[in-house]
């Protein structure tokens, strides 16, 4: 079983709408939770990094939340744009190791 589970696996949304992506991680110790955006054919780019003491962090229209008690994180995309079409990867950091989720594939349509 993967240490980081993301849902939904894929999502289609209309331009201008909001969406929320979920991430559950199962392994401790935990030191940080990261979200990356990976455009098709490109490398992942960091969106947010949160430590266990932070429960929300924003980067433009992206807002990540973290509940260290339930080991859950979410990434909320506000007023989606066509350029938001990408894979969003949740990454748990801890014990000098990173565990990657498989990603949420988001497609924004006009």
Partner 1 sequence: SAVISQKPSRDICQRGTSLTIQCQVDSQVTMMFWYRQQPGQSLTLIATANQGSEATYESGFVIDKFPISRPNLTFSTLTVSNMSPEDSSIYLCSVLGYSGELFFGEGSRLTVL
Q: Looking at beta carbons only, is 7 or 18 nearer to partner 1?
A: 7
Q: Examine residue 40 and tell whether it contacts partner 1 (CB under 8 A).
A: no
CB 90 within 8 A of CB 25: yes
Interface with partner 1 in residues 42-61 (CB under 8 A): 42-46, 49
Residue nearer to partner 1 on the CB measure, 42 or 61: 42
CB 92 within 8 A of CB 98: yes
Q: Looking at 21-29, 37-45, 55-63, 77-85, which segment touches partner 1 (CB under 8 A)?
A: 37-45
Q: What is the CA radius of gyration of the chain?
A: 13
Minimum Å gap between C-beta 44 and partner 1 is 5
Query: Could you tell me how far CA 43 lies from the centroid of its own chain?
Result: 15
CB atoms within 10 A of CB 46: 11
**Of the residues 79, 102, 107, 109, which one makes contact with partner 1 according to CB under 8 A:** 102
Alpha-carbon distance of 32 to 58, in angstroms, equals: 15
Return the DSSP state at 29: -
Where on the chain is the footprint of partner 1 (CB under 8 A)? 2, 4, 32, 34, 41-46, 49, 89, 98, 100-103
């Amino acid at each position: 079983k993967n240490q980081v589970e993301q849902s939904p696996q894929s999502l289609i949304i209309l331009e201008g709408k909001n969406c929320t992506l979920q991430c559950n991680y199962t392994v401790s110790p935990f030191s940080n939770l990261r979200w990356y955006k990976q455009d098709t054919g490109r490398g992942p780019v960091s969106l947010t990094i949160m430590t266990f003491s932070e429960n929300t962090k924003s980067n433009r229209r992206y807002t990540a939340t973290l509940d260290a008690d339930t080991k859950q994180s979410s990434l909320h995309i506000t007023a989606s744009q066509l350029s938001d079409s990408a894979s969003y990867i949740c990454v748990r950091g801890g014990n000098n190791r990173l565990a990657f989720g498989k990603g949420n594939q988001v497609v924004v349509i006009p």
